[in-house]
Amino acid sequence: MNCLKRAKEIEDVIINDRRELHKIPELQLSLPKTVAYVENELKKLDISYKKLVDGNAIVAEIGNYRGKCIAIRADMDALPIKEETSLSFCSTHEGKMHACGHDGHTAMALGACRILKENEKNLDGLVKIFFQPGEEIPGGAKPMIDEGCMENPKVDRVIGLHEGGIFGHLPTGTVGYKEDAMMASMDAFILKVKGHGGHGARPENFIDPIVTISEINLALQKIISRELDPTKSALISICQIHGGTCQNIIPDEVWEEGTVRTLDEDVRDFVEKRMKEISESIAKAFRCEAELDYKRYYPAVINDKEFTAYVKNIAQEILGDDKVIEISRPTMGGEDFAFFEKEARGTFLSLNNLKANKDGKVYPHHNSKFDVDESAFYIGSGLMAEVAYRYLKEGSK
């Protein structure tokens, strides 16, 4: 069974799937047209499936459970961006765009479905294919897990990939891998500081929350530079500040929002604890009150070392050593694929295929002119199918 060769043979079908999906971008946990498209293709292939998350997620199954089960995951959601690519198959949904490559992920997973279904009788176990909503926000992996996608039968291994260039503009058609920490946890916070407002010409009579939150923000950055081990990665980014109504009025309250990224759960715990302590103590020193609302969203993507090595070896065998690149350091971007890796040993790959727009420039993910090179799609389909087939046949450590 040569999954890569077969993927190349059906390359036009994979590309067509991507283009059809690219036309109908949908957001978050409401993907009726996208789900209908995937569902229709699965029916054509006579692949059994069930829907979860109020009908916005699909779990397809190929093979028969014989003690081993592996899952392939593809996210399906788009972004609230007005597309400016001038592609012949650009978005037909105003203000929505597949600007992160999830249309390609879905198409590649459908390609893997086609290959595995053709060889179903040769599968020594069960393959589950997860078509997931809401990766961007609010997160679709956990709802799928909560509804049992990793059970009955239990998933032993899980694999996923991200196309484009999340680790920089690497050569098209190369596959990036990384053992252990690959992507950061993703948390968000809202910090409110309450003072006592009044006329800006008489600050001595009032309590200024703007000065207070400014002092807090300077101190928060020192958590990273002065309280963490320099070999541990973390960041605190304040991305919004709101407060005040006029140039000569000190407000009663100001508030801000931001994000925290870490690669280690102990560091994550420490940063949250210190943010609360610092905010409250500095606010008290300035006679204000601070309220920190800290929310944990996605954990860090931590790839299983042994399974990642197993997948890397397969990739090198079928693609060639020069097409398989070890990623030297993690990104502080987040991915809810991490939730699947909490349930089973897994690995997440980077399929590198950023493409220049008509103006000759290469645009990043989440940009209105983002595009990808479709010539790499068969690699994603073929590799995921090959890993699933071989794992069921021979297993991995």
Per residue in 33-90, pLDDT (tens digit) is 999 999 999 999 999 999 999 999 999 999 999 999 999 999 999 999 999 999 999 9
Binding site annotation covers 162?
Answer: yes
Instruction: Specify whether 102 is located in the same domain as 244.
Output: no
DSSP 246: S
Contact residues for 56 (Cβ-Cβ < 8 A; gap 6+): 29, 30, 31, 32, 35, 133, 134, 140
Q: What is the CATH number of the domain that holds 50?
A: 3.40.630.10
Instruction: Specify whether 12 is located in the same domain as 118.
Output: yes
Single residue among 298, 313, 339 that ends a domain in this structure? 298
How many structural domains is the chain composed of?
A: 2
Instruction: Specify whether 270 is located in the same domain as 309.
Output: no
Three-state DSSP class for residue 247? coil
Instruction: Specify whether 349 is located in the same domain as 253.
Output: no
For residue 166, pLDDT beyond 90: yes
Binding site annotation covers 365?
Answer: no
Instruction: Specify whether 91 is located in the same domain as 72.
Output: yes
Instruction: Specify whether 360 is located in the same domain as 278.
Output: no
Q: Which pLDDT value is given to residue 372?
A: 98
Instruction: Specify whether 62 is located in the same domain as 46.
Output: yes
Binding site annotation covers 136?
Answer: yes
pLDDT tens figures, 362-390: 999 999 999 999 999 999 999 999 999 99
Q: Which pLDDT value is given to residue 1?
A: 85
Which of the residues are catalytic? 298, 374
Instruction: Specify whether 138 is located in the same domain as 273.
Output: no
Average pLDDT over residues 192-221: 98
For residue 397, pLDDT beyond 60: no
Nearest 5°: phi and psi at 337?
-55, -25
Angular region, 3: left φ>0, alpha ψ -120 to 50, beta rest: alpha
Instruction: Specify whether 11 is located in the same domain as 155.
Output: yes
Single residue among 298, 316, 340 that ends a domain in this structure? 298
Single residue among 298, 317, 332 that ends a domain in this structure? 298
Instruction: Specify whether 245 is located in the same domain as 218.
Output: yes
Contact residues for 122 (Cβ-Cβ < 8 A; gap 6+): 1, 389
DSSP string, 167-226: TBSPPTTEEEE-SEEEE--EEEEEEEEE-B-EETT-GGGSB-HHHHHHHHHHHHHHIIII
CA 104 to CA 14: how far, in whole Å?
8
pLDDT above 70: percentage of residues in the chain: 99
Q: Which pLDDT value is given to residue 358?
A: 87
Label residue 396 by pLDDT band (50, 70, 90): low
Label residue 300 by pLDDT band (50, 70, 90): very high
Predicted model pTM: 0.95
Binding site annotation covers 100?
Answer: yes
- Domain of 222? 185-298
Instruction: Specify whether 345 is located in the same domain as 316.
Output: yes
Report the mean per-residue pLDDT for the chain: 98
Instruction: Specify whether 273 is located in the same domain as 151.
Output: no
Q: Which pLDDT value is given to residue 243?
A: 98
Q: Which pLDDT value is given to residue 395?
A: 78
Determine the Cα angle at 302 with ends 296 and 304, to 5°. 150
pLDDT tens figures, 99-129: 999 999 999 999 999 999 999 999 999 999 9
Q: Which pLDDT value is given to residue 169?
A: 84
